[in-house]
A and B are shown apart, each in its own frame.
Chain A
Amino acid sequence: QVQLVQSGGEVKKPGASVKVSCKTSGYIFTNYIMFWVRQAPGQGLEWIGTIDPSGGGTTYSQRLQARLTLTRDVSTSTAYMELTRLRSEDTAVYYCTSMLTFWGQGTLVTVSS
């Protein structure tokens, strides 16, 4: 069955960077677009970016594009989300979702001094 397993929670200081992984299985990784969505505590869902695992092409939210990098490793069927120059307002659960259908369990990133 399709599975997306994300890396564990992170606590970072303002100005630091974080990299979250999303390891997939159960389907052909390069066949389906991977989306990243985040959810601040008690808030709704916010799309932050998209990567095409086949060619590596990316699209980022305007709000984060200067600080966000999405990558993938086809050999391990894993997608990555890196966010730099972290701010307190980046505190959120970050989700990877394949085809907007199958979702990872989420990774809590806490930014606090």
Chain B
Amino acid sequence: EIVMTQTPISLSVTPGQPASISCKSSQSLRYSDGKTYLYWYLQKPGQPPRLLIYEVFNRFSGVPDRFSGSGSETDFTLKISRVETEDVGIYYCMQNAHLPPITFGQGTRLEIK
């Protein structure tokens, strides 16, 4: 089973400032088709996760361009260029390159200062 490790566990950011979340996998997430199956989600209280980024760096429809994803193989990063108050919640990375099982990071809680 691939283990996904996120850091930090939590962060507090002033609106307008950048934020960065790291996600490391225990094995490369590059699949035999050449794609890398690393996703990022944001979950707000009482809501299902919302897809932000798929396949490392592709923003999903409607996701603001202040969100960006990068990385390769086992090291990945989600960046928010200028945090807004609506960005609070828990961010999860997820892999489905090697399944079963699909595995998630433990989550990173973003709060506003």
Contacts and interface: CB of A to CB of B under 8 A. Distances in A.
Interface of A: 35, 37, 44-47, 50, 59-62, 95, 97, 100-101, 103-106
Nearest to A46: B104
B48 A95 contact: yes
B28 interface: no
Contacts of A95: 48-49
Interface of B: 39, 43, 48-51, 54, 60, 92, 94, 96, 99-107
B101 A61 contact: yes
A47 B95 CA distance: 11
A59 B100 CA distance: 7
A32 to B, nearest CB: 13
Specify the main secondary structure of chain B where it touches its partner: loop
Nearest to B46: A106
Nearest to A60: B100
Contacts of B104: 44-47
Contacts, number: 48
B21 to A, nearest CB: 14
B6 to A, nearest CB: 10
Nearest to B104: A45
A47 B48 contact: no
A44 B107 CA distance: 7
Contacts of B100: 47, 50, 59-62
Smallest CB-CB A-B distances: 8 pairs: A103-B48, A47-B102, A45-B104, A44-B107, A47-B101, A59-B100, A101-B51, A44-B106
14 contacts: A45-B107, A47-B99, A47-B102, A47-B103, A50-B99, A60-B100, A61-B100, A61-B101, A62-B100, A62-B101, A100-B94, A100-B96, A100-B102, A105-B48
